[in-house]
Amino acid sequence: MALNSFTQFIFNLFIASAIIISAYTCNFYYLTYLSIKRKEILSTANVGTPSITIQLPIYNEKYVAKRLVDAVCMMDYPKEKMRIMVLDDSDDETADLLFDVVAKYKKQGFQIDHIRRGTRKGYKAGALKYAMQITDTEFVAIFDADFIPPNWFLKRAIPHFSKSNIGLVQCRWGHVNENYSAITQAQALSLDFHFLIEQKAKSNSNLFMNFNGTAGIWKCACIEDAGGWHTATLVEDLDLSYRAQMKGWKCVFLPDIVVDAELPVQMNAAKRQQFRWAKGSIQCAIKLLADIIIKRKVSVEAKIQAFVQLTRHIVYPLMLIQFLALPVLLASNMNLYLVSFIPALTIAAYLAMGPGAYIVIIQSMYHKSWKSKAKILPTLLVYNAGMSVNNSVAVFDAIFGKKNEFLRTPKYGIVNKEDNWRDKAYNLPFTKTTLLEIFFGIYGLMGILISIFSNNPVFAPIIGLQTIGFFYISYMSLSHTRFKRIKSGNIPVLTKTEKMAKRTYQLSMIGVVAIIIFGGFMAINGYHADVYPLDRIRGNLDGILGSADPVSIKTHLMAIKQDLAIVMEKLPESKNPVWVFPTESTSFLRIERDVDNMIANAETISGISEDNAAFQTGMTNIGERALAIRQNIMDATPYMFVSVSNIVFSTMWIAAILGIFAALKRKKDQLTAFDEATGI
């Protein structure tokens, strides 16, 4: 089938994206194979009780900081061999809280220091780099503020430094609040995939394994040999661990040592964390890949896996490309089935490559408890699909070198389902990325309609999954936005400024919902008015190609003429939807003339015997013209989506949402100024 250049470009982009995504997916399945088949026996040795510094990088974590320090000080390890550094860069009441906690434990004989740099330069990496200058122990353990290490942690983890070339042991993350909500369940399952599949597979082989930033122990000599902590990327942990392994050090993952941690419960916090991981990975790819590739001592397999690990977040932009391209290709009547005569095989292949394979993996990970985890898989699929916008922005931020800012993921000390975070400090507002998520959700609704009306309903669930994801993430981002409250005693008291901000927020939410509903209605109405008539025209052309009755053909042609009139009413004077570099093939005036000629031909041959050569010649002529018009309609269809009126409407629609965002930002700035003026 001949394709115009635009459709061909979209098709090539779609196929290229599909191939790359499939390659990354297959690589994950390869790591699954390694994690199951290559079971390394983790050796231990009696290394005694070597000196160790426990570093606790903290910034504005008043709800969890004390919990962390308490857990560390309860560790079963000789006090004279254990030094604790509370690396506190906080600029809120966390600093005063930690000052009192550290003073208490000092009186109990702990070697604990409350270290205040007086700056946030380099963020977490800067704090760790500063701490290494005053560290004189053999080992360093690192815990983020939201972790709760068990008291036996050091005694069970340190013996795994049995070989001189082991520079890092990374322990598995547990989830203290996994069942708090659907969001935390999805995050927990995703992290378990990372640790029990990816980290396990790499630790059991010669592949590069990354430090996860916390719940791990480093040999100080390894940190120094690798060049220390760098502040150039947002994932200093990934950066250092790769540089260490390039130097010949071995990193080991300990799946049986689990350190519980608090998962983000607010959607905007989870998005911030995902953003930092995605952007940081691409930054490390830009920084390290060239050196890894030319390093002779690194095996080819390790180089390939390092490339995949560091660049895997490009899957998210590719997912969006596919999502945008699929409705255009369906509207162009492109055949995207794996086997053209068995469309069901297409959806079967998607299920086998995705959910089906993941269920098998879940069985291998959790054994007897796999069924309860498998129930979370649909939530994870929706969550990951919806996160593709947030993570794609992160990827482009890294590629285009946007300035780094390490934005922490706030935690609230949430453990039980009854715990509430909504009236606490550190709540994050939704960002402009939410606007994009809403746009993709609306586009997905159009895509579902296109898949149905183009007789390709098998693709509706595929588009629908991502569409639900976009709406889910954007809805949770909006609903989880809260303005700061000031508490007087146990009764929340809102100032006049905060009441106005709350009212503005409520009105803005009503406005966003109204705009979304209106946009969805206009999109559906626009498709029905502009594109659906073209689908009907193609259907009538198919009827002409399958008919040998001039009367029936004329009926189809008259229906086509009516639909052409509907379409042409909405087109400019040229009657050509291609308003940039129009061609004669997409001119509806010419198509209308061809239809009139076909009607005249059908009337002429209707009075001729079927055995007459003139009848056969006339039917052949009608068939050839029908095929040509069908191709012309297919060429014109994608441009109906990008008509001048649609572009104007979309611009106004986006401008309205941006206006609401601007109003919210003004109120947020007013609150910030109010807080600063009143010293809150």
Per-residue model confidence (pLDDT) at position 32 = 92
In the structure encoding, which two tokens stand for residue 212, read together?
């996860």
The domain segmentation of the chain, as residue ranges, is 28-43+50-262, 496-680
| C-alpha pair distances (Å), 376 with each of 189, 359, 372, 380, 616 | 8, 10, 7, 6, 62
Residue 402 pLDDT:
83
User: What's the pLDDT score for residue 607?
Assistant: 84
541: tokens are: 């052309």
Q: What is the mean pLDDT of residues 163-167?
A: 94
Q: How far is CA 640 from CA 201, 439, 530, in A?
A: 49, 18, 7
Q: For residue 125, give the amino acid letter.
A: A
Residue written as token pair 């004669």: 584
Note if 89 is an active site residue.
yes
Query: Pick the catalytic residue: 88, 192, 237, 563?
Result: 237
Instruction: Give dist(CA 146, CA 65) in Å, integer.
Output: 8
Tell me the Ramachandran region of residue 174: left when phi exceeds 0, alpha when psi lies from -120 to 50, beta otherwise: beta
Q: Is 108 exposed, middle or buried (0-12, 13-18, 19+ CB in 10 A)?
A: exposed
In this predicted model, what pLDDT tens digit does every residue of 172-227 receive, in sequence order?
999 999 999 999 999 999 999 999 999 999 998 889 999 999 999 999 999 999 99
Residue 531 pLDDT > 60: yes
Could you confirm whether domain 28-43+50-262 is CATH 3.90.550.10? yes
User: What does the H/E/C string look like for 545-592?
Assistant: HCCCCHHHHHHHHHHHHHHHHHHHHCCCCCCCCCCCCCCHHHCHHHHH
Residues 6+ positions from 356 with CB-CB distance below 8 Å: none
Give CA–CA dist 103/105, Å, rounded: 6
- The dihedrals phi and psi of 372, each to the nearest 5 degrees, come to -65, -35
Closest CA to 103 of 113, 90, 117: 113
Say which amino acid occupies 173.
W
Q: Residue 484 pLDDT more than 70?
A: no
CA–CA dist 547, 616 (Å, integer): 13
* Enclosing H/E stretch for 87: strand 82-88
**Structure confidence by residue, pLDDT tens digits, 541-590:** 988 888 888 889 999 999 999 999 888 887 877 888 876 667 777 888 88
Residue 58 has pLDDT above 90, yes or no: yes
Model confidence at 485: pLDDT above 70: no
Instruction: Supply the pLDDT for residue 486.
Output: 41
Percent of the chain scored above 90 by pLDDT? Answer: 51
Residue 328, pLDDT score: 85
Structure tokens at 524: 């559906």
Both tokens of 65, joined, read: 């900081």
516: tokens are: 């979304």
For the segment 268-279, what is each residue's pLDDT rounded down to a tens digit? 999 999 999 999
The tokens describing 552, both together, are 């029936």
pLDDT digits (tens, 9 = 90+) for 297-335: 899 999 999 999 999 999 999 999 999 999 888 877 777
Copy the structure tokens of residue 315.
């899957």
CA–CA separation, 257 vs 259, rounded Å? 7
Residue 487, pLDDT > 80, answer: no
* pLDDT: which is higher, 503 or 625: 625
- Going by pLDDT thresholds of 50, 70 and 90, the confidence category of residue 665 is low
Tokens 């009236």 correspond to: 423
Residue whose C-alpha is closest to residue 571's, from 559, 587, 585, 555: 587
The per-type count for the chain, helices as H runs and strands as E runs, is 25, 10
Of residues 355 and 244, the one with the higher pLDDT is 244
Mean pLDDT, to the nearest integer, of 456-471? Answer: 90
Please state, rounded to an integer, the average pLDDT across all residues of the chain.
86
SS3 labels along 359-394: HHHHHHHHHHHHHHHHCCHHHHHHHHHHCHHHHHHH
Query: For residue 413, how far is the Cα from the chain centroid?
Result: 25
- d(CA 159, CA 31) in angstroms, rounded, equals 27
- For residue 631 the two structure tokens come to 């191709």
C-alpha gyration radius of the chain: 31
